[in-house]
């Protein structure tokens, strides 16, 4: 859900939440795969005898898909919970950061694409990046970002109510207002 609340400047605080329809489709896919794996493990589907390795793999995949279904249900039931917060002070993605990343510490905002999926990359000031990566970023997303070769913080917009282009334009506007210049270079 996209909610705005006015602040003392002309830029409102924006909260972006998950899309209900996207999460319903994702839950359906997880549930279907879970039931297929469960049918294979319990022998409901006609098949040849499984080796120990295949059986272990089937049990592991079934357990992981079960966790994915359990994780997706609360998101589907309460999709209005905001995930990304954008205000005149900075941006925060609850999935990545424990606190707001100030606009003054962001050197560049880039719109990137990987296999047809667009995402935002926030390139941070090196001193601030060391502080954020040490204390305020969740360790797993930060590690995955480094493995993918990104130099900053990745804001994934898949499944949110706003597309990557809209969030990118929003970030441009808010950062320009916070830094005090509308002539910033954007990539």
Quick check: is 184 in a domain? no
**Residue 90 sits in the same domain as residue 167:** yes
| Residue whose C-alpha is closest to residue 84's, from 29, 122, 41 | 122
DSSP 78: -
Nearest to 139 by CA among 83, 147, 72: 147
Same domain, 66 and 110: no
pLDDT tens track for 61-118: 889 988 988 888 888 887 678 889 999 889 998 888 888 888 988 888 999 888 888 8
Asked whether residue 122 is domain-assigned, the answer is yes
Domain that holds residue 57: 20-77
Residue 186 counted as domain residue: no
From 58, 77, 96, the end of a domain falls on 77
166 and 149 in a common domain: yes
| Domain annotation covers residue 161 | yes
CA distance 120 to 86: 13
Is the domain of 9 the same as that of 101? yes
- Distance CA(111)–CA(121), nearest Å, equals 6
pTM score of the predicted model:
0.72
Give pLDDT tens digits for 6-44: 333 578 999 998 888 888 888 899 899 888 888 888 877
* Burial of 99 (C-beta count, 10 Å sphere; 0-12/13-18/19+): exposed
Is 185 within a domain? no
Residue 137 has pLDDT above 70, yes or no: no
Phi, psi of 12 (to 5 degrees): -80, 160
Q: Are residues 33 and 12 in the same domain?
A: no
């Amino acid at each position: 859900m996209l909610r705005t609340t006015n602040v003392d400047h002309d830029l409102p605080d924006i909260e972006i939440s998950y899309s209900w329809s996207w999460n319903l489709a994702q839950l359906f896919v997880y549930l279907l795969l879970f039931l297929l794996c469960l049918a294979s493990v319990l022998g409901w589907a006609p098949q040849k005898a499984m080796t120990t390795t295949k059986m272990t793999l089937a049990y592991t995949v079934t357990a992981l898909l079960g966790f994915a279904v359990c994780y997706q249900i609360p998101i589907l039931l309460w999709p209005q919970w905001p995930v990304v917060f954008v205000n005149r002070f900075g941006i925060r993605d609850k999935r990545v950061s424990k606190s707001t990343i100030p606009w003054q510490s962001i050197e560049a905002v880039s719109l990137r694409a990987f296999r047809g999926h667009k995402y935002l990359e926030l390139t941070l000031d090196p001193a601030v990046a060391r502080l954020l990566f040490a204390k305020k970023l969740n360790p797993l997303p930060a590690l995955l970002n480094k493995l993918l070769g990104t130099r900053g913080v990745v804001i994934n917009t898949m499944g949110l109510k706003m597309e990557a282009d809209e969030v990118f334009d929003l970030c441009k506007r808010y950062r320009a207002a916070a830094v005090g210049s509308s002539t910033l270079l954007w990539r």
